[in-house]
């Protein structure tokens, strides 16, 4: 597992978008070491503030049977990387939850994808990265990559989570990023995609 880091370009990080308590302040994530071993349960909002706390996460890449990848735009209400395009969902497993269980739950909660629409969910990679989002927060994650192919591409996205959806030829997206420069891609997806193609070489 390799690490991908970046320095903080913005100095102090804002704790809140407003005076109201952010919903992530009521959630927890699993802090881990560089080898993805459990350390402790930490507050999810605090894990994404300041210099961050390394924690467990996942990103799931969803394909159709023609090798197109489903890009999902993060809703504008997201605190970090709002309106950026992800490929396809990303989140954090709850304490005691496996990456596969967390992925299945997130697919259903965000996109209305049920387990009978795929049968090949598997973990293909894992990496550590750190990225700052100016004035708002940081991601410092040990991120598992999971992949699956939909045999039924019916979707029912939740507006609070997803701003838009787009099927894109996966190989063309990787090989010709200038064609898609108008799409701001989430950093963890860019890393996962690059590593995915490098692993195949």
Encode pLDDT of 51-105 as tens digits: 999 999 999 999 999 999 999 999 888 889 888 999 999 999 999 999 999 999 9
Least confident of 53-57, 81-85, 108-112, 120-124: 81-85
Tokens of 153: 């591409």
The tens digit of pLDDT for each residue in 34-47 reads 999 999 999 999 99
Name the β-bridge partners of 68.
169
Q: Cα 124 vs. chain centroid, distance in angstroms?
A: 15
pLDDT at 135: 76
Give the pTM.
0.85
Let me know: does 195 contact 145? Beta carbons within 8 Å: yes
Q: What phi and psi values does residue 135 have, to the nearest 5 degrees?
A: 70, -5
The parent domain of residue 72 ranges over 3-200
Return the pLDDT at 23: 58
Q: What angle do CA 91, 9, 44 make, to 5 degrees?
A: 25
% of the chain at pLDDT higher than 70:
87
Q: From residue 186, give the alpha-carbon distance in Å to each of 45, 86, 162.
A: 19, 5, 14
Q: Residue 189's domain is classified under what CATH number?
A: 3.90.79.10
**Domain tally, the chain:** 1
- By CB neighbour count within 10 A (0-12 exposed, 13-18 middle, 19+ buried), where does 123 fall? middle
Residue partners of 110: CB distance under 8 A and separation at least 6: 72, 89, 157, 158, 161, 162
| Annotated active-site residue in 110, 128, 141, 201 | 141
Beta-carbon contacts of residue 51 (< 8 Å; ≥ 6 apart):
8, 138, 140
**What residues have CB less than 8 Å from 135, skipping those under 6 apart?**
10, 13, 14
Residue 2 has a pLDDT of: 61
Q: Rounded mean pLDDT of 138-163?
A: 96
In tens, the pLDDT along 168-195 reads 999 999 998 777 777 899 999 999 999 9
Residue 152's CB is within 10 A of a number of other CB atoms, namely 11
User: What's the confidence (pLDDT) of residue 39?
Assistant: 98
User: Known catalytic residue: 200?
Assistant: no
Question: For a pLDDT cut of 90, what percent of the chain falls above it?
Answer: 73
């Amino acid at each position: 597992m390799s690490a991908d880091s970046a320095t903080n370009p913005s100095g102090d990080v804002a704790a809140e978008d407003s005076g109201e308590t952010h919903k992530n302040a009521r959630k927890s994530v699993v802090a881990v070491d560089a080898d993805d071993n459990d350390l402790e349960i930490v507050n999810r909002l605090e894990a994404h503030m300041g210099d961050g706390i390394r924690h467990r996460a996942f990103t799931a890449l969803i394909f159709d049977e023609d090798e197109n990848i489903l890009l999902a735009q993060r809703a504008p209400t997201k605190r970090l990387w709002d309106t950026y395009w992800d490929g396809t969902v990303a989140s954090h497993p709850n304490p005691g939850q496996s990456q596969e269980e967390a992925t299945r739950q997130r697919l259903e909660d965000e996109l209305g994808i049920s387990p009978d629409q795929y049968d090949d969910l598997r973990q293909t990679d894992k990496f550590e990265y750190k990225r700052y989002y100016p004035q708002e927060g940081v991601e410092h994650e040990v991120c598992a990559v999971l992949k699956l192919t939909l045999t039924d591409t019916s979707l029912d996205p939740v507006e609070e989570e997803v701003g838009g959806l787009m099927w894109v030829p996966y190989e063309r997206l990787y090989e010709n990023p200038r064609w898609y420069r108008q799409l701001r891609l989430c950093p963890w997806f860019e890393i996962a995609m690059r590593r995915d193609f490098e692993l195949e070489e």
